[in-house]
Amino acid sequence: MNRERLKGHLDLLLLSVLTAGPAHGYSVISELRRRSEGTFDLPEGTVYPALHRLEDAGLLSSSWATADGRRRRVYALTAPGAAALAAERTEYRHFTRGIQAVLGWSA
């Protein structure tokens, strides 16, 4: 997948994964890869800064956890985050409708 295509859609993906429940960064990456069947195999350098940004924006909250001697930062969707996700979904649909209209796809 051409990376440029992802731009502007990353937050949608991250917030979406976290609707299933709190998760740490590494597992978010795995889950994204698993759900998309390899289409979205994002480097850590993409995901971690994005999670930090979303937390700074108040859309996620995080806390440290330890499992098997490894420390993890676990992220959870906040109420504003859920609202932002809903907005992202709406915008995404708007976007795809626009593309389809231009392409002449009735779908």
Binding segment for DNA (CB under 7 A), chosen from 37-45, 77-85, 86-94, 99-107, is 37-45
Sign of the CA dihedral with 35 first, then 8, 86, and 75 last: positive
Q: Does 62 bind a second copy (CB under 8 A)?
A: no
Interface with DNA (CB under 7 A), residue total 31
Q: Does 44 bind DNA (CB under 7 A)?
A: yes
Q: Which of 59, 63, 81, 80 is nearest to 72 (CA)?
A: 63
Number of helical H runs and strand E runs in the chain: 4, 3
Question: What are the residues binding a second copy (CB under 8 A)?
Answer: 1-9, 12-13, 16-17, 32, 35-37, 39-40, 89, 91-92, 94-99, 101-104
